[in-house]
Amino acid sequence: MPKISACVISYNEEAKIEDCLRSLEGVADEIVVVDSLSTDRTREIAARYTDRIFEQAFLGHVEQKNLAVSKASHDWVLSLDCDERLSPQLRDSILMLKDKLGEHDAYRMARRTFYVYRWLNHCWYPDFKVRLFNRTTARWGGINPHDRVQVDGEDVVTLGGDILHYSFDSISGHLKTVDSFTEIGAREIIARGKRAGPLSPVTHGLWTFLKLYLIKRGFLDGYAGFVVSVLSGMHAFVKYAKVILQRRRDKSGPGAED
């Protein structure tokens, strides 16, 4: 039977990492944690579940997750973030196919998000993610901070059950992430030379809101769905606004008048 290495990256996740690692017990044959020099009890808690804990200053989401994969002892990798856990149904789905993992290239699963006070069943759902893959034929890629698993083959199967994602406990936490992720995303756009016109913040922001709230029926998620749709649109707006402002600053020089 193929063995599975669960790979998790962490930074100051003492409040959430235990539930994540506990959900992997009985499914993963090994748990690998790469910690970004946490200053809380994250590593102490992780040590209850594994002795495969490595310390590495944060390299970027894609790079850090690929580092964790490189530390795995087995080729089949199951990847979770600290604020995620396997639902009972997803655990059962993985266990049922564990002895025949090699029949497919990789496996995707839906992710259901808990936002402040309720589950989101529409605007951020099902949010399919490839999280179980063979590291010889797949790897983490994408554009930071929005990483994704890139699979060489096309035979990717959807598993029953959800990744349970306990995202933001408050709007304040969401806003902090918006600021952090838009900073990273803007830098990536600039580094790749991607075009961004004066209206890009508005068009991207408006489209994101409409897609989540109307097309994906986020309005059925109540007030939480409205807040998520607005802040997601704001995320897109701020990211492209930062790109435009930084490029104008680079062109004009600090202190120059436009």
Write out pLDDT tens, residues 52-88: 999 999 999 999 999 999 999 999 999 999 999 999 9
Would you state the pLDDT for residue 252? 85
Would you state the pLDDT for residue 143? 86
Would you state the pLDDT for residue 257? 55
Token pair of 32, please? 């690998």
Write out pLDDT tens, residues 206-233: 999 999 999 999 999 999 999 999 999 9
How would DSSP label each residue in 191-252? HHT----TTHHHHHHHHHHHIIIIIS-GGGGHHHHHHHHHHHHHHHHHHHHHHHHHHHHHHH
Write out pLDDT tens, residues 106-147: 999 999 999 999 999 999 999 999 999 999 999 999 988 889
Token pair of 58, please? 């944060």
Measured CA to CA, the distance from residue 152 to residue 68 in angstroms comes to 19
pTM score = 0.91
pLDDT band, very low/low/confident/very high, at 256 (cuts 50, 70, 90): low
